[in-house]
Structure 1
Amino acid sequence: MCIHAMYVLRNNMGKKQCFSCRIHDLIVTGPRGISKQRISTEEYIIKWTPVDKELNDHFPICFVSEARDRYSRVYQSEIRCVIADVGNHEAIVTCNETTMTVEVEKTYLIRKNKDNLHLNDFRDPSCNLTRLSNSTHVVAVMSLNTCGTLVEEDENNIIFKNDITSAAPNEIISRQHDVEIAFSCVYPKRTNLTLGFRHKNPYAFLEKGFGAFTFQFEFFESQRFRKQVDSSTYPVEVYLKQMMFMQIEATTSIPNTELFVETCRATPYDNPNSRISYTIIEHGCVKDNTVQIYPSSRVQFRFGMQAFEFIGAHEEVYITCTVVLCETGVPGTRCTQGCIRSGSGNHRGKREAVGQTSSHSISQGPLHLVKTSDSQASGLSLNLGMNVMFVVGCLLACGVVIYRSKRSKIKYQPLPSSDTD
């Protein structure tokens, strides 16, 4: 459940309203095991996974958003509550080297909501659940990185998660009995997966005071930034120590704006929260000594760095950056602060400046390191030898592929060139 904490806030001391406050916290109460995660300045995700003994029961989940103004006065929204009904949906999940397949029997609740069922990505026609479903089962087949599939990881595995839901994608709350069926596939990290690499289109956002705006992250062929890498050639093949050229560009109808890149990190998976990562830019400061910043306009950020690889069973690198759009010349924004060195004491708190957007995460990739022994790379392959099928209920269907091999310790360190210096 995603909560957009954008309500009319009232001061604890009276009826005074606050329309320029920044959300500080979300107070949540509900069943045991409930948790919250802040994903932007004004958005939280509330997560809860029921257990078997909670099947066929009903649980209230209530929340209040808390905000502060520039004088640190506290404001709270009215309390909001939803009822979570825990139902049982028999599901079969099949995981192979390229796709996830899920089959769910049509219960009364599913049939009642059949016209509203969708996966995480409801805009892609290839992810439409009516395409393969029949009279008795809802059926979906998707590549591991399509249809809004989320990538997570633990110490040993990469986890691909998606949901079949009837909740309205653009609504904050619901007063209907919505279907919510989570399913996932789990693969050992030592396994290489065929993900069907896809170039990422511009990221679009909408915020009060800035309207609609986009961020586009692209790789370019040279430091002149005249020709970007063709999206059909992804993954982008590079050699060790080869210079890579990247550009982030903001597009907005609001005049006098500027772009600021706060952080950039490299990860071996398309997961910005990966446990394995390498910091390129932090708090607006360059951390990698091969990075070069190139001249650009106020709404562009151009930089380059030498290609590298992660040590261990990883052949891909994704670059993820957090970016902010600011009104030009407004004091106190992240753009005017620039690089903030560690220990300087100038880091801003959770409350954002008025003349800037929330921080947004954007990524592009993957980069594929070409070694001298590599043949023409056309993507990674995985020989699983079998498909594994599981049947689970209680809202969670999980497919797992098990291997006997142990994962080696993985860490990052600079690698020397394969060429003789």
Structure 2
Amino acid sequence: MTFNRCDVKCGGNLRGYSGKISSPNYPNRHQPFTYCVWHVETPKNTKAKLSFSEVFVEPDVACRFDFVAVFDGPTTNSPLKDVLCGRTVGEVETSSNAFTLVFSADYANNYFGFSVDYIATPKANSSLSCSGDSMTVLINPDYINSLGYNANELTLINKTCVANSANPIVFEVPFGSCGTVKKVKDHTVYYTNTIFASTAGVITRHRQLQIIVTCELESDSIAEIMYVTENDIIQDQAESGKYDVSLAFYPNEDFIAPVLESPYFIELNESVFLQATVQSSDPDLTVFVDTCFASPQANFQAPNYDLIRRGCIKDNTYHNFPSGSRYARFNFSAFKFLNAHPSVYLQCQLVICDINDSGSRCNQGCVTRKRRDLGSTMWKTNAVLGPLRLKRHSEPEAAGSVSEKTEDVVKTDQTSLYVMGISVLVINVLILAFVVLRYSRREPRGYRYHAVATH
């Protein structure tokens, strides 16, 4: 007896933040000799969670005959995550934003196959991916719930633009609408929007939440910049690129212990020291500060002030320290924006290079021409930090100022009451004196009481 493989059309390439996959002819029996391969890609900086509502194929302890296999990557050469067979349900979670699903069946015991739902989940609290005309933001619902909000309370700048999905929380943010702000500078296009969490009513006991997302588009690259602010303090940050880079304030040029408090209060004109560090065990990496600019707003909308741009220093107090293995250091003098803006936020574009590559971007310094020669080995990432505030804007001083004003008011009121009391007393004495004087004038001058005559 010979068996011919059936011509079953199945499998394919899928993209998106959620979907459903099932075996051919499900929920009816699959055909013999079915072999399907699905290549699935979820948005960047996410992982996938697969929930099998049913697996009903030929049972075998070793899953040798009919099976469903999940590979943790874009091909069947990726690491095998799990194999399911028999009659079961289950959940599988990948470590990357791509997975490969294989369904294989032989000629005998054709059952009902399988059905699985998959959703993308951010690797951290949130994730961002950019395309040519929009950006996709995924937010972990558990993170939003921990702050006292839910998906229905999140909107973009245009409050009519709400989440496309509640689990995971997904925002498809178009570049041309929903309040997205476009900015063009030095042949680079920036698209920025903000996700707000808000509740109705007069008061709230929840922290103010903003998730700020930016897509930076150049002719040959796309960079994603995303960070979270709670009560205007940057709490979380997701960078794109091969390496993660941290940016921190330091109290002095020794660069021993970073400043942990936020906001960071500092005197006007006092030196601000910063260090950018690449998180890697490779000692041959170094960091170069390509661009760093400041803004009074956490979403980095205008006005902006350049400290350094494309390696060219723009602020006369800016100074680069010599770079070392896995770090770059710089400082500048603290300033404030006009029109009483109390905060300064920093956004820096950092380049990671091989320290032994003499032709890399890290060794080129200031580049003024339209396009940069990036060198043979280069990775680019972004880091944000803030707020930096002048000490005279701090709450204790503000409270002291209010206290002094209140004390002055109390002293003034006490003085006024004292003067008023003295004035009333003087007036009463004058009135009494006037009455006595007038009565004495009416009495006859010669009249006196005399003793009664006695006999």
TM-score range (shorter-chain normalised) is: 0.3 to 0.5
Decide which structure has the larger Cα Rg and report it: 2
For normalisation by structure 1, the TM-score amounts to: 0.44
The structure with more helix, counted as a fraction of residues? 2
Higher relative contact order (CA 8 A, sep 6+): 1
For normalisation by structure 2, the TM-score amounts to: 0.41
